[in-house]
Structure 1
Amino acid sequence: MGQQRITPHIWCHGNAEEVGAFYASVLPSTRSRIESRYPETGLLDSQRPLAGEPLTVGVDIDGYRLVLINAGDEFTPGPSLSFVLNFDPLMFGGDEAAARAGLGNIWRELAEGGKELMPLGEYPFSKRYGWVQDRFGVNWQLMLTDPAGDPRPFVIPALMFDGAAQGSAAQAADAYVALFAGTPGGSEIGHRMPYGEPTGKASGEALAFGEFRIGEQWFMASDNGSGVDFGFDCGVSLEATCDDQAEIDRLWEALSSEPRAEQCGWAQDRFGVSWQIVPAHLDRLLERPGAYDRLMRMKKIVIDEL
């Protein structure tokens, strides 16, 4: 895929290198590598045991980028922000049996030591589907897709709105599409399907399935119909990179709605989704003497002050 404007970040409990190696061994065309390390000095008290250890581990899944954050146990990934893996028979030369087999193999690897949230089987929306939380707490939805439908990438982040944000999936998708309309390739709303009747805490008009695109990236947005609230937090966040301070200021103004969540470029929007609003090439900026310590004391990132 082309330039990826938004990069999901997954919070890990001091084991990001292990998590990355696991995904590289399980997912097709995937590799992981340490991208940055904690400095030896200038750390918060809670970070001192991690001095010199990996800070971020990048995971490339056939061109789709995820980042693992090596940190403490303050946050844990949850079902509200999961990852759909689309198994299109066209990826397997049109062989549905091969696509099913590939899906099944990865399902077994992800499910080992994890928890099945929706058993692997046939559902009205897919002939083969399952939802699993892996041993590290990350949620995956594996789906056999219809090759006759519109093509979609292998990895799609899926946002599920519940709690105070129940019923907000369509509104959130509309807001994100408008906010990132200037991304190369534009942005758009895709298919939408309501529940049709009350399901769990979702109304009949709520989204059972929705999708939107930012640049070349597709996302899913739905309202939780399970009846159990999970809620968003920093366990999985979305990083938006910005070319300059003006773009940081624009996104920060639009997305940050909870002052208590503001820290070193992190913000929480009105739907509860956690964002990191950062300058492009932040890694280079952090090479400046004392930059990491200055970053830790910021809320919105100000490039000239790093």
Structure 2
Amino acid sequence: MSQKITTFLMFDGRAEEAMTFYRSLFSDAEVVSLARYGPEGPGAEGTVVHAIFTLAGQRFMCIDSAVKHEFGFTPAVSLYVDCADEAEIDRLYAALAADGTELMALGDHGFSTRFGWVNDRFGVSWQLNLA
């Protein structure tokens, strides 16, 4: 088996909500596998023990951590999306910025004629670029 690198996202009770939201934004998206905690725990019943999903052919894993941590997501690591056209970058930026935090407004930043950077409502950081 060849080695693979997969982005792993740890949530605090909102993994399935985030996964559903992200899948609504990208074509060629699907849930590959999903396991939930049962009544025996250790996580809250119904939350995600482990899930694998794809967005535009890219594989991701996510969980709802049963352990509370003093850290969350940081913009030091972000998901970078090259968008095919202005309609796509506008749509993705609006959706990801809704209830999130704008880090760089969508616009011309010199290195790109149309670029924006946001933390979404779950805290995951996204850089969007018009290719």
CA, structure 1 residues 243+270, in 2 after alignment: closer, same or farther (shift >3 Å)?
same
- Report the equivalent of 1:253: 94
Query: Once superposed, what is the RMSD of the aligned Cα atoms?
Result: 1.8
CA contact under 8 A between 2:98 and 2:120: conserved in structure 1? yes
Return the offset for 1:216: 2.3
Q: Which residue of 2 aligns with 1:174?
A: 20
The 5 A counterparts of 1:76-225 are 90-91=1-2, 154-161=4-11, 166-181=12-27, 186-196=28-38, 197-199=40-42, 202-225=43-66
Look at both structures and tell me which one has the larger radius of gyration over its CA atoms.
Answer: 1
Deviation at 1:221, TM superposition (A): 1.2
Q: TM-score, normalised by structure 2?
A: 0.82
State the alpha-carbon separation in 1 of the partners of residues 91 and 101 from structure 2. 19
1:231-276 Cα offsets, whole Å, 9 max, x none, are 1121211111111111110001110135753315111111111110
> Identity across aligned pairs (percent)?
38
Q: How far apart are the structure 2 equivalents of 1:160 and 1:170?
A: 11
Q: Distance in 1 between matches of 2:91 and 2:85?
A: 10
Structure 1 residues 272 and 259, CA gap change in structure 2 (3 angstroms): closer
Question: How far did 1:204 drift?
Answer: 2.0
Larger RCO (CA within 8 A; separation ≥ 6): 2
Stretches (4+) displaced over 4 A: none
Deviation at 1:173, TM superposition (A): 0.7
CA shift, 1:205, in A, is 1.3
Question: Structure 1 length as normaliser, TM-score?
Answer: 0.37
Match of 2:125 in 1: 274
Task: Pick closer, same or farther for the CA change 1:258–1:213 going to 2, 3 Å.
Answer: same
Kindly provide the CA deviation profile for residues 106-126 of structure 1, in whole angstroms up to 9, marking residues without a partner as x. Answer: xxxxxxxxxxxxxxxxxxxxx
Amino acid aligned to 1:191: S
5+ unaligned residues in a row in structure 1: which ranges?
A: 1-89, 92-152, 281-306
Q: Separation in 2 of the partners of 1:231 and 1:154?
A: 24
Mapped partners of 1:173, 1:238: distance in 2:
14
